[in-house]
Amino acid sequence: MEFLNTIGLDHYLVISAILFGFGLFAIVTRKNAIVVLMGVELILNAANINLLAFSKYNGGMEGVMFSLFVIVLAAAEAAIALAIVINIYKTFNTVDLSSVDSMKE
Amino acid sequence: MTNTTYTVIFYLFAAITVFSAAFVVFSRNVIYSAFSLLFTFFGVAALYVFLSADFIAVTQIVVYVGGILVLLLFGVMFTNKIMMTDLKTDVLNIVPGLLILVATVGGLIHVFVQRADWLVSADQLQGSVVERIGFETMSRYVLPFEMASILLLLALIGAAFLARFDKAEKNEQ
């Protein structure tokens, strides 16, 4: 009961572990490339929660700055990945990852 | 704000985050997944506020909800013929996937909560963090900051180049 009442570092770690698991599940099981991208975003968010939690309970600024750069990289990654997905759609007429099995049509 | 209110609000946002993330993963409709991801991002931003990283929370809302989610929705619209195909996606490897999910989450929670003994500092981050982010960006992190700007420019050019409308290809068809 004491664990549930006072919010500490462990609570954030548990939430980030659950988000990481869901992201991994999306990457492993889904066939649509866009949903796989959503899984990657979930994993990045889980990593960010961990960075910020450790930063808060350590008192330093390293985790905060690092999470800022993670967000920047996530934006760049999403733009490039969607350009690639649109190219895959132009070439194969589908975004089903299990039917994309050659380098060119 | 009393301690009980704080706890209740924390659990509310934690529940929103976790359940909408589960819906993103388990929903078979891509559009439902995308809109559920909206709630996940907002919930995570609220958790950032609890971690006294208010600037990161606002950045999360601006970049993720305003940028990445719109981009993902554009991707869904570009890659589905809206009127013809239903937007459902198949799921494969569901049993190995569930095994990996349970093993990963169980292992991580066991290590984080049971095995590890985190030493918590006496001077935790308090209040707003905006001013300190400004100082850090312009002093210790000025090189990564500039590199991030160059990387964003490169990503912009690369994405525009990859996804451009090809005139020569269109004429051949």
**pLDDT 10s digits, B81-133:** 654 455 555 667 788 889 999 999 999 999 988 888 888 887 888 888 899 99
Domain residues for the domain of B64 are 3-128
Q: Are residues B104 and B136 in the same domain?
A: no
- Secondary structure in 3-state letters for B65-115: HHHHHHHHHHHHHHCCCCCCCCCECCECCHHHHHHHHHHHHHHHHHHHHHH
Which residues contact residue B140 at a Cβ distance below 8 angstroms, ignoring those fewer than 6 apart? A65
pLDDT in the model for residue B169: 61
Which residues contact residue A95 at a Cβ distance below 8 angstroms, ignoring those fewer than 6 apart? A32, A33, A34, A85, A88, A89, B79
More confident residue, B123 or B20: B20
Checking if the pLDDT of A10 tops 60, the result is yes
Contact B75 A82 (CB under 8 A): yes
- On whether any CB of chain A is under 8 Å from the CB of B129, the answer is yes
**What is the rounded distance in angstroms from the CA atom of residue B14 to the CA atom of residue B25?**
17
pLDDT in the model for residue B2: 75
Place of tokens 């800022």: A68
The CATH code of the domain at A2-96 is 1.10.287.3510
Percent above pLDDT 90 for chain B: 49
Amino acid identity of B145? F
Counting one residue from A and one from B, how many pairs have CB atoms under 8 Å apart?
238
CATH of the domain at B31: 1.20.120.1200
Q: Are residues B123 and B145 in the same domain?
A: no
How many domains are there within chain B? Answer: 2
Residue of B nearest to A8 (CA): B120
Task: Look up the pTM and report it.
Answer: 0.89
More confident residue, A102 or B67: B67
Q: Are residues B110 and B66 in the same domain?
A: yes
